[in-house]
Structure 1
Amino acid sequence: MPTSERRLLLDFEKPLVDLEERIKQIRDLAEESEVDVSDQIQKLEERADQLRQEIFQNLTPAQRLQVARHPRRPSTLDYIQSMTDEWIELHGDRLTGTDDRALVGGIGRLDGRPVVLLGHQKGRDTKDNVARNFGMASPGGYRKAMRLMNHANRFGMPILTFIDTPGAYAGLEAERLGQGEAIAYNLREMFRLDVPILCTVIGEGGSGGALGIGVGDRLMMFEHSVYTVASPEACAAILWKDAAKSPQAAEALRITAQDLKQLGILDQILPEPLGGAHANPLQAAATLKAAILENLAQLDSLTNAQRRDLRYQKFRKIGIFQEMSA
């Protein structure tokens, strides 16, 4: 395997990759010497499939976080281009005269139906990540998102949001331009929209940066995605003054799709191809598209008032507390 490919390997994938390289070496030697080793190769391939299933069925929260952050994990634009019949990206918040590339959006057709799609966009390499601010949107990005959602509401188009950010940009300039206000405004306004809203965590859903486009009728997550109030590294630095304790924080934060489904926050877990969404992006996109169409069909049967009321009640029910007697 080339050095560049090995850099993209996750720690827990190494035994599997070593086995796959061994299979390749045996196959190459057999072809050179014209020896039939098909039985041995078949057994090794069966062992590789079994090992892959064992690894990805038993990931810890910290390991799921690694998968969610994988540099080759499909992004918002990857899913949009795979699922839509046509797509036109729209730019700008119409307020500051700038366009935030960390949050993209526009109009597309999903099986012929006009929809508005928007989401966080990370880069594929260092240069692209810098240009897109590592998927951390500024106030202009959230205001652009709200402009597109108002457009969708005016013309009766469903809204599809894709969440993949470590959090909103926390720089001084973002604070000066009203980062907190921009996100809070989105939270309030998304509750009043008449059209169906489907939110999907496709990778990393972090803090208010995720919530800024995360108020919807349905919340879906890919099975190796994460959704958290703060990154495990930040949590560990705050609680223990040691970012190295992030695996412990990831466990305590209950960040996985399975945890959130159990807590009643998540509506649907989307299965990923074996090895993660980056192992087969087209299959992941097909799974997401099918889930979106199924949920849209259910939401279409409701009136605007019913959707708004259910959306409100959905978020009112989140959170559990226990009263302690004196």
Structure 2
Amino acid sequence: MTHYLEFEKPLAEIEGKAEELRAMARSSPEMNVEDEARALDAKAATMLRDLYAKLTPWRKCQVARHPARPHCVDYIEALFDEYTPLAGDRAFADDHAVMGGMARFHDRPVMVIGQEKGHDTQTRIERNFGMARPEGYRKAIRLMDLADRFGLPVITLVDTPGAYPGKGAEERGQSEAIARSTAKCLSLGVPLVSVIIGEGGSGGAVAFATANRVAMLQHSVYSVISPEGCASILWKDAEKMREAAEALRLTAQDLHELAVVDRIVPEPVGGAHRHRETVIGAVGEAVAAMLDELQGMDAGAVRADRRRKYLQMGARGLAA
């Protein structure tokens, strides 16, 4: 069953009518409605193209959060061979919002780490909607340490509303864990590449995405705070999230202009949730290209490359 976003409701009506006609034809074979259904299909395709040609920042937030959008587990299953999951932070627990392990990518050994939101009620609760607790960041640190020790490039897949803000997480040192994960990203002597596949929320995303190269899907978002949170703080009104989304410059296009991300991975018309296999393949190509750019660098050169990226961040936008 297709999940339609708020701004896609007119599209839902047209596609629903086309499906109703075909259902009637299936129950009454003598009915000839195919021409009318095809006309509705053409109208829906035009409307879809028009809607996605002029997405506002707030609508991009909605697309980035679409429940049918490919998640970390989908990318790992499709792009990596011999994936061996590793669990636990060796201190407190295993955080299911963070998944990772050793794998082969294009026949090269790598470490892949990502945030997983879940795809239904049960898995969303199990994965805490992709919001990691301190043990999740400490698990990521442990896996990055392991990758550094064995010379494995690290690939991170970012999709989180932000770090979990609960009482227990704060008691166990949430901010310290995020800071140490960010510092670990900066200190790695192996290539680190990251892809924002959905939401890149606040420090919870930065702790995974402080990489040599960062790619971002065309309709993903990456920001210091959610539009709703920003609106609540600035205007004391979460309903002003549309204005906040405009002000935050959280789209892939804005962030590429500011040199926060290095490349934009295009999404077909209708977004990643309508073209899952195509988008997953495009992400694989982007990851391969980013790793190729870093191939052959020694540990010192990798760290210098990463340092240079973050010292120069925002320079293009400020110069403009």
Is TM (by shorter chain) over 0.5? yes
Residue correspondence of structure 1 range 130-149 to structure 2 within 5 A: 130-149=125-144
**CA–CA distance in structure 2, aligned partners of residues 275 and 48 of structure 1:** 11
Q: 2:104 and 2:282 mapped to 1: Cα distance?
A: 17
Shift of 1:27: 3.9
2:179 to 181, 184, 194: 184
1:241-320 matches, cutoff 5 A: 241-319=236-314
Give the one of 191, 195, 200 matched to 2:190. 195
Single out whichever of 236-245 and 26-35 deviates more from structure 2.
26-35
Comparing 293-302 and 54-63, the one that deviates more:
293-302
Letter in 1 for 2:254: D
Determine which of 49, 53, 59 is the counterpart of 2:49. Answer: 53
Partners of 1:107 and 1:282 lie apart in 2 by 23
Q: Secondary structure at the match of 1:285?
A: helix
More displaced 10-residue stretch of structure 1: 65-74 or 120-129: 120-129
Question: Which whole-Å CA distance do the structure 1 matches of 2:34 and 2:178 have between them?
Answer: 58
CA distance in 1, matches of 2:197, 2:52: 17
Aligned to 1:110: 105
C-alpha distance in 1 between matches for 2:181 and 2:228: 27
Deviation at 1:311, TM superposition (A): 0.6
Q: Aligned partners of 2:118, 2:33: CA distance in 1, in Å?
A: 43
Deviation at 1:318, TM superposition (A): 1.9
Query: Could you list the per-position Cα deviations for residues 25-52 of structure 1 after superposition, in whole angstroms to 9, with x for gaps in the alignment?
Result: 3445566364655554444322222211
CA–CA distance in structure 1, aligned partners of residues 41 and 117 of structure 2: 34
In the alignment, is residue 44 of structure 1 matched against residue 40 of structure 2?
yes
Indicate whether 1:239 and 2:234 are aligned.
yes
Match in the other structure for 1:73: 69
**Paired position in structure 2 for 1:86:** 82
Q: Quick one: which amino acid aligns to residue 63 of structure 1?
A: R
Identity %: 45
Query: Using the alignment, how far apart are the partners of 2:94 and 2:159 within structure 1?
Result: 18
Question: Any idea what SS the aligned residue of 1:88 has?
Answer: strand
The separation in 2 between residues aligned to 1:309 and 1:187, in whole angstroms, is: 16
AA of the residue aligned to 1:118: I
Query: Are the structure 2 counterparts of residues 126 and 43 from structure 1 closer, same or farther at C-alpha, using a change threshold of 3 Å?
Result: closer
- 1:313 to partner: Cα distance: 1.1
TM-score by length of 1: 0.91
1:62 aligns with 2:58: yes
TM (norm. structure 2) is 0.93
> Deviation of residue 303 (structure 1)?
3.3
Distance across 2 between alignment mates of 1:268 and 1:21: 36
Per-residue deviation, residues 116-146 of structure 1 (Å, max 9, x unmatched): 0011111222332222221111111111101
Q: Deviations over 1:243-276 (max 9, x none)?
A: 0111110111011111111122111111123222
Q: Among 207, 215, 226, which residue is 1:220 paired with? A: 215
Query: RMSD between aligned alpha carbons?
Result: 1.9
Q: Distance in 1 between matches of 2:62 and 2:191?
A: 32
Q: Secondary structure at the match of 1:213?
A: helix
Q: Which runs of 5+ in 2 are unaligned?
A: none
Gapped runs of 5+ residues in structure 1? none
Q: Secondary structure at the match of 1:264?
A: coil
* Residue of 90, 99, 102 corresponding to 2:94: 99
Q: Could you say what secondary structure the match of 2:132 adopts?
A: coil
Q: Distance in 2 between matches of 1:311 and 1:224?
A: 25
Structure 1 residue 167 and structure 2 residue 158: aligned? Answer: no
Kept in 1, the 8 Å contact 2:144–2:184? The answer is: no
Q: Distance in 2 between matches of 1:138 and 1:25?
A: 46
- Give the CA deviation at 1:94: 1.1
State how far apart, in whole Å, the 1-side matches of 2:306 and 2:226 are.
26
